[in-house]
Amino acid sequence: MSKSTPEHFLLSKEEMKTYGYKIVDILADHFDTLCDKTVVTQGNRKEMDALLDDQLPYEPSPADKVLNHVTRDILPYTNQVSHPKFYSFVPGPSNFISAMSDSLATGFNVFSGAWTNSPTASKVEIITLHWLLQMFGFPIKKGGGIFTSGGSMANLTALATARKVRLGEDFSKACIYLSDQAHSSNIKAIRVLGFKKEQIRVIPTDMEFKMSINKLKNAIAKDTIQGLTPFCIIATAGTTNTGTVDPLMEIAKISKKEKLWMHVDAAYGGGAILSENGKSLLKGIEKADSLTVDPHKWFFQPYEMGCLLVKNHKWLSQTFTEHPEYLRDTEGNTSEINFYDHGIQLTRRFRALKLYMSMKTYGLSTFKNAVQHSIQLTEDLEDLLRMSPKWEVISPATLAVINYRYNPVNYNLSEKELNTLNEYISKQIIKAKAAVLVTTILQNQVVLRMCLINPNTKMKHLKDTINLCESYGDDYLKNKKTSVDN
């Protein structure tokens, strides 16, 4: 490494190429061997403190030494969220083109907040937003949006916009409605925006985990009679627990009749719009005023990339535009969008590039096939589980999410025993580092949940995991029976 002017962080061209090629080699090897890697990583704070206890580095170190440290001591101790056996939460199946695109955006250090700083970056964001508007049936000329760090920021941006457009400055009597299966980021956003707990209406769901329309209507009517202001309905398109889609058409009718803002949180399920099955389940999503979707989920982008779409792009500028003196030279004509006027961030990285380059490289058909593969695979898994005398499906395959539990027919187990058994199976799978398969709770039942949006996940991976789960379950019950007999 050059030492002539270290204070300026200078490397020679050859040094940069050599270092860069090493990183590309590491990434290419990672993508190529990902399926063979251990999916689970475990480490408590004490272990991590022993592994990584760095002091503030005053003196420089060789770049290769630091890189080796990272590849040896840091990267291996992260769960492989792109692994085909990472079934829990929402996996992060990225792709190499997008990863390299992100490297370009970071390397050029593109500032995508203002048109004058990067007109091409702004135009690429407009183009990719138009692609998404088209996919979801939003108006392209009038509609708009913004890329965010994820669904949490997109939901916050949406509700801030809804509050400004519909309520102005006084929102003390406003009421917001969402289901008991809505994502927690919505509650966070509501609180951050200054709404009180008493203004939140959590609507119970039905047996299919969909927002109850009757109970929603009752809540709105009650609030109206009491002189409150029903303001916004947050519908979910793809709940985290079950992949369920709220009845969007009916919610749209209520929103129109009662003059409520309709926001759809499709951070998870929005990508299903690319499949025929998904498009049918998401019918009515085009009637929303605002929509959250996460490209870093089912559009296979690296973290962080969320997105907010709105029916009228002017709503965003009305909500977020400020005119400080230091930005006066960035104000162009009305067609030149400054995205810092459409959201919370002033400084913004060039997130749109990875979606743009991967869409252009792979084509929409590849994305569609990957989404359809996930949906079909989950339905095939449901068929497999239903044919087994050992498994019980609790929530059927919906948008590539399925919930089930180990409940062999030749045992008469209580609900408490079943909960303990399925918790045990999950813990053993994680302990063996065979897969990431954790539990959730549905109707007071502990269940195993799979989210199968990774296009590299195959039926063989699922069968291997199910067989291993069965072996843990069988051993647990045999040991339990032996203990009772003794």
Both 325 and 406 in one domain: the answer is no
Q: Is residue 437 part of a domain?
A: yes
pLDDT above 60: residue 64: yes
CATH of the domain at 291: 3.40.640.10
**CA dist., res. 421 & res. 462, Å (int):** 20
Write out pLDDT tens, residues 222-241. 999 999 999 999 999 999 99
pTM, whole model, 2 decimals?
Answer: 0.95
Q: Which of 311, 341, 362 is the last residue of a domain?
A: 362
Both 196 and 328 in one domain: the answer is yes
Q: Domain count for the chain, please give it.
A: 3
Q: Is residue 105 part of a domain?
A: no
pLDDT above 70: residue 7: no
Rounded mean pLDDT of the chain? Answer: 95
Q: Is residue 89 part of a domain?
A: no
pLDDT above 70: residue 253: yes
What pLDDT, on the 0 to 100 scale, is given for residue 334? Answer: 72
**CA dist., res. 62 & res. 79, Å (int):** 28
Both 353 and 371 in one domain: the answer is no
Domain carrying residue 355: 110-362
Q: Is residue 12 part of a domain?
A: yes
Both 358 and 371 in one domain: the answer is no
Both 422 and 467 in one domain: the answer is yes
pLDDT mean over 402-421: 96
What pLDDT, on the 0 to 100 scale, is given for residue 485? Answer: 65
**CA dist., res. 268 & res. 409, Å (int):** 34
What pLDDT, on the 0 to 100 scale, is given for residue 123? Answer: 97
- The single-letter code of the amino acid at 232 is C
What is the residue whose two structure tokens read 């959730």?
440
Both 119 and 225 in one domain: the answer is yes
Both 289 and 201 in one domain: the answer is yes
Lowest-confidence segment of 81-95, 108-122, 151-165, 324-338 by average pLDDT: 324-338
Q: Which of 362, 396, 429 is the last residue of a domain?
A: 362
CATH of the domain at 410: 3.90.1150.170
- The single-letter code of the amino acid at 295 is P
Q: Is residue 410 part of a domain?
A: yes
What is the percent of the chain with per-residue pLDDT over 90, rounded to a whole number?
Answer: 91
Whether residue 144 contacts residue 313, with contact meaning beta carbons closer than 8 Å, is answered with: yes
Both 306 and 329 in one domain: the answer is yes
Both 380 and 463 in one domain: the answer is yes
Both 163 and 301 in one domain: the answer is yes
Q: Is residue 88 part of a domain?
A: no
Q: Which of 362, 388, 405 is the last residue of a domain?
A: 362
Please measure the distance between the N-terminal and C-terminal CA atoms of the chain and give it in whole angstroms.
70
Both 358 and 370 in one domain: the answer is no
What is the percent of the chain with per-residue pLDDT over 70, rounded to a whole number?
Answer: 97
Q: Is residue 445 part of a domain?
A: yes
**CA dist., res. 199 & res. 250, Å (int):** 23
**CA dist., res. 284 & res. 59, Å (int):** 59
Q: Is residue 85 part of a domain?
A: no
What pLDDT, on the 0 to 100 scale, is given for residue 326? Answer: 73
Both 128 and 187 in one domain: the answer is yes
